[in-house]
Amino acid sequence: MVNTRAELVSISALSYPDMFRRRVALSPNKVAYHYPALSEPEEWRTLTWAQARVKVDALAGALLDLKLAKGERVALASATRIEWVLIDLAIACCAAVTTTIYPSTKAADAEYILTDSNAVFLVAENAEQLAKVVGRPALDAQLRCIILIDDDRLPGELNDQRVVRYCDLALRGEAFNLKNPNRVAESIADITRDDLSTIIYTSGTTGTPKGVELSHGCWTYEGVSVNAYKLIFDTDMLYIWLPLAHVFGRDLLSAQIAVGTESAIDGRVNRIVQGVGEVKPTVMVGVPRIYEKIRAAVITMYPKRGLKGRISRWAFAVGRDSRSYRLAGEKMPSWLSLKYRIADKLVYSKLKQKLGGRMRFMVSGSAKLSAQVQEWFYSAGIALIEGYGLTETSAIACVDHDSRPHFGTVGKPLPGVQVRIADDGEVLISGPIVSRGYHNLPQISAQAFQDGWFHTGDIGEVDAAGYLKITDRKKDVLKTSNGKYISPQKVENAIMANTPYAAQAVVIGENRQYAAALVILDRDPLDAWAKRRGKAGLSYAELTQLPEIRTSIDRCIRRANKRLERWETIKKYVILERDLLLELDELTPSLKVRRANVLAHFSTVIDDIYTEESSSIPFLPEKQTERSGS
């Protein structure tokens, strides 16, 4: 078995497009991509690896015809879709560099990324993205070409001589390749593993985004190491909905090419459940919130006193009792085995069918996942494992294995990747997946990348079996006025895992007497609750302030508090009357909370929490409740 770093490097491709062409040669007629036709009724189309190469070569030829040169930057501002995948490969075939931009990025932030990366081409998904760059003097001088995927401009709108329609690229590229049959291959052959492939900007939760430089070798090594880990196989189908502007989504494309899996590509978050049911994937990768929402939907689906609600709670209690046997690979007692089969038929099988009926396992990454959520899915016979990595490590550095999950850990490092814990508890990572540094930031790079080790900023520990557990963020620990340290992430995870109606939770308490929380409720289960109780006419703000909702959330927060140390427990909380908003900089483009901005915008609410004489926000009752099955 090939597992050492040197062995894996030696068998890895020389570049990202070289890895793609090797995959085409190995399995030309195998389906590579499923993608929606965006028609009514919904229809899924396919591309084999050979068909994908034809499209990529034509796009690359068009880019070369448009005078894109080696090392030049092409910014890609689009949601996850098949065109993103193909043109990113084409950019790589030209030895150019992809710079990713979230489609939700505001115009000023997009301009910063474009200017900082010195992008000369832009691939814009539609007129909305085009409007962010047209008419900006600095970009008018810098951008030579703008490729428009969906030309949804109104007549006379956003006319710009630099705009080239995506649909016109294929013919242009085919004509170029006929005249220059070896040009694309020569461009690929000119790329080395050390050449820059991608610049991905961090989400900027604490400041200006930093451009992380990832080489071709980062992606090719990710591919061979994931393949060597034997987690996914060429018989699998991945469901890729994550933003490809994010390193996690982009990394899945590398893993897919290396392993040879099929992938369904569809970034429409509102269609994940329908899409999964249609294409029936075997592996899905997501962020914790997706899995929290699935769990919350099941938990809140039936009234607690109804027959279906009682059956569901009984089934998950059976699943909880079975976990220790199944995790240890031991046979369950006959009485428990019988109960589990009944629970599977009545409850678990319906959840599995909602997930397409073929799901082998699911992976959570990008943020810490609650072990409670993992345990709940495992109760139903669905393995939900956790991975760990950062933009600076090309996403996946560690991942658990579905064959024997270790709840609460992010698994072991990928083959050839090393993890070390510094004296202060910080997690350090070394290996070919580590970025070469931050774009245009040599001093910050020197601090973060030292002697071949990337300093992650996360606090963690490695157990005797080699499994990594992330416990804190180095800079995100709160200190109360009583001198107690609190990890907001730990407390927020406890709240989210035990509050099915919660969409977000922001823990506060720096230099305060105790921990408190701002809670934002999820509109979907809240609306379903309102309909069941004849309150469908009330607004979101009105629903969040109902006494019945407050009583329910009280019960959930008390349940979360049972899983925390006494000094970490939430003493008071406020249900906010609105969502956190991207346009107010309360969220990053990847929807992470910008804590400092949230605290500033809700400072009056927070001050009221800590006003002793305030009667509008009483202390949370200490009443104990029954622990429900997780």
Q: How far apart are CA 220 and CA 8, in angstroms?
A: 10
Residue 287: phi and psi, rounded to 5, are -100, 160
In this predicted model, what pLDDT tens digit does every residue of 54-67 receive, in sequence order?
999 999 999 999 99
Residue that is written with structure tokens 């490809």 in the block: 244
The per-residue pLDDT for range 545-579, each reduced to its tens digit, is: 888 888 899 999 999 999 888 889 999 999 998 88
> What is the DSSP code string of 48-63?
EHHHHHHHHHHHHHHH
Categorize the per-residue pLDDT at 40 as very low, low, confident or very high, splitting at 50, 70 and 90.
Answer: low
Quote the CA–CA distance of 291 and 262 in Å, as a whole number. 22
Which tokens is 559 given?
Answer: 């349940």
The DSSP-derived string for 91-154 is HHHTT-EEEEE-TT--HHHHHHHHHHHTEEEEEESSHHHHHTTTT-HHHHHH--EEEESS--PP
- CA gap 316, 617 in Å, rounded: 34
Closest to 282 measured CA to CA, from 383, 408, 175: 383
Q: Is the pLDDT of residue 629 over 50?
A: no
**Burial track 185-224 (b if 16+ CB lie within 10 A, e otherwise):** eebbeebebebbbbbbbbbbbeeebbbbbbbbbbbbbbbb
Residue 546 near residue 608, CB atoms below 8 Å: no
- For the segment 499-557, what is each residue's pLDDT rounded down to a tens digit? 988 989 999 998 888 899 999 998 888 888 888 888 888 888 888 888 888 889 999 99
- As a whole number of Å, the CA-based R_g of the chain is 25
Q: Whole-prediction pTM value?
A: 0.86
In tens, the pLDDT along 296-354 reads 888 877 766 788 888 999 999 999 999 999 998 899 999 999 999 999 999 999 999 99
Which of 268, 220, 303, 272 lies closest to 22, judged by CA?
Answer: 220
Query: Rounded mean pLDDT of 152-160?
Result: 89
> Cα–Cα distances in Å, from 29 out to 47, 53, 185?
9, 11, 21
Cα separation, 394 vs 253, in Å, equals 12
Q: What is the rounded average pLDDT for all residues in the chain?
A: 91
Residue 214 DSSP SS3: strand
In sign, the C-alpha dihedral spanning 590, 596, 598, 600 is negative
CA 331/CA 329 separation, integer angstroms: 7
CA 414 vs. chain centroid, Å, equals: 19
